Amino acid sequence: MVYMLLAAALLATDPIDDAVSRVSARRCRETVDHLVSFGTRHTLSDRTSPTRGVLAAANWIKGELEAAAAGSGGRMSVSIEEFGVPPGTVRMPKGGTITNVVAILEGSAPGAKERRYYLVGHFDSMCADVMNPDADAPGANDDASGTTVVMEGARALAASHPEATIVFLCTSGEEQGLLGAKLHAEKARAAGVKILGVLNNDIVGDPWGTMHPLLTGKPAPAEMGSYVRVFSEGVPRNPSAEQLAQIRSLAGEMDSPSRQLARFVNEVGTRHNLTIKPKLVFRLDRFLRGGDHTAFLEAGYPAVRFSSPNEDYARQHQNVSEIEVNGRKIRMGDLPEFVDAEYLAGVTRLNVAAVLALADAPSAPSNVRLVTAKLTTDATLRWEASPEADTAGYEVVWRDTTSPVWTGVRDAANATTLTLPFSKDDVFFGVRSYDRDGNRSPVVFAGAAKE
Ligand SMILES: [Zn+2]
């Protein structure tokens, strides 16, 4: 019997590798090209045409997600989400409608399905003038590429059976001030929705920048296209005075829930054999820039941003034009020919692996703390158990205070306390849970309690 179970386990493919294998570079290519074919997807563009503008694009995305949902056996639902924006809004002075497209893949496990994990990309676009709704704004990289991650992610994951719920969110209004994401996140917060991780993809289709083969006429160095940046904030936005005091006293400024989410993505990228690796960047976003993940952070939800390296600002938020390079005429702008479908498929695979790993993991332990009633030379940790029935145990992790990622790990089995024989002065501690299949939760940074 034992041998039969073992053989069955060896034969069964890993659900993550399975989902990853369903991502298609060809479909990524077609999706970007189709999104660009709407001419502009500016949030204030024409809402009556069936072939041009933001609403035509939204309806097409909805149809594609419905086609993906057909493979889910009724577990994935798709809807258009609309919000009214009042006149006087900064980049929507006349007010108007914000349209998002949402697909929800219902979780399969009773104790887990209330938890939600998100793939996000914005499908609105802009030319050089953020208030111009009429000019062509192909937005191939910004952000048809991120929208493609969400849509292709939905196609790849529709046949998967995650324990927690996965949400695929295509927003608009990003260029007008993150409006679609903001209104969605605020509504979720007001309804008490439990969002435990948001993976925002914005500008993820072109890692070649000014070294793009179309510009230079020769191949770019392969290492430029081998990774994607994963941005995460260190200190949570809008912390209470009490939270800030605790962050200061524990030196917790590198250990927000969003930072643990970024480290989780990093571990998934290392564990699975993926072509595009994550590169952690420890700041909210590119220097003084922003994106839809910020709207989720404002609402109190952990969120990170994926962006390809080597941005070329001559092609971002620009009007389509023609330039001459070494005697050759080249179309410039945020055009589909600059998006690399293989690279984009690689970023999609990383997202699919990470979001499924999150949704299949048990919930993280709560109230993780170092016990400090007496001064001791060892470190005792305690935590509250994860409620899910398939939780099999816990791991204590640690790292040097100068290390970006967790380096030490000790199994605590199913105990909810562990003492390690070294000082808590020189390292940071955290705890994560794991289930019977070996899925691990993100880490919870250890606080302190006089117990
Ligand atoms: Zn963008």
Describe the strand order of the beta sheet including 379-384 as a list of residue ranges: 417-420, 379-384, 366-371, 447-449
What separation in Å is there between the alpha carbon of 144 and the centre of ligand 1? 9
CA separation for the pair 411, 415 (Å, rounded): 9
| Bridge partner residues of 89 (DSSP) | 92
Q: What's the chain's Rg over C-alpha atoms?
A: 23
What separation in Å is there between the alpha carbon of 406 and the centre of ligand 1? 31
Distances (CA, A) of 86 to 98, 125, 219: 11, 21, 49
CA separation for the pair 100, 119 (Å, rounded): 13
Each residue of 235-292: pLDDT tens digit? 999 899 999 999 999 999 999 999 999 999 999 999 998 999 999 999 999 999 999 9
Neighbours of ion ligand 1 (CB under 5 A): 142-143, 202
CA separation for the pair 8, 329 (Å, rounded): 59
The structure tokens 């919930």 sit at 363
What separation in Å is there between the alpha carbon of 143 and the centre of ligand 1? 5
Mean pLDDT of 306-327: 90
Each residue of 71-88: pLDDT tens digit? 999 999 999 999 999 999
What separation in Å is there between the alpha carbon of 178 and the centre of ligand 1? 9
Residue 40 CB partners (closer than 8 Å, separation 6+): 52, 53, 54, 125, 127, 133, 134, 135, 136, 137, 139
Question: How many CB atoms neighbour CB 402 within 10 A?
Answer: 7
Say what percent of the chain tops pLDDT 70: 97
pLDDT of residue 373: 87
Q: How confident is the model at residue 143 (pLDDT cuts 50, 70, 90)?
A: very high
What separation in Å is there between the alpha carbon of 307 and the centre of ligand 1? 9
Round the average pLDDT of the chain to a whole number and report it: 95
- Looking only at the bridges linking them, the beta strands covering 115-122 and 227-231 are unpaired
The structure tokens 């893949």 sit at 105
Each residue of 159-186: pLDDT tens digit? 999 999 999 999 999 999 999 999 999 9
Each residue of 360-380: pLDDT tens digit? 999 999 999 999 988 888 999
Q: Which domains does the chain have, with CATH numbers?
A: 15-360 (3.40.630.10), 366-449 (2.60.40.10)
What separation in Å is there between the alpha carbon of 292 and the centre of ligand 1? 8
What separation in Å is there between the alpha carbon of 290 and the centre of ligand 1? 8
What separation in Å is there between the alpha carbon of 35 and the centre of ligand 1? 14
What separation in Å is there between the alpha carbon of 204 and the centre of ligand 1? 10
- Looking only at the bridges linking them, the beta strands covering 321-325 and 328-332 are antiparallel
* H helical segments located in 37-143: 54-69
What separation in Å is there between the alpha carbon of 311 and the centre of ligand 1? 12
pLDDT of residue 214: 92
What separation in Å is there between the alpha carbon of 98 and the centre of ligand 1? 16
What separation in Å is there between the alpha carbon of 122 and the centre of ligand 1? 7
What separation in Å is there between the alpha carbon of 437 and the centre of ligand 1? 37
pLDDT of residue 235: 96
What separation in Å is there between the alpha carbon of 240 and the centre of ligand 1? 30
Distances (CA, A) of 57 to 32, 38, 54, 61: 11, 6, 5, 6
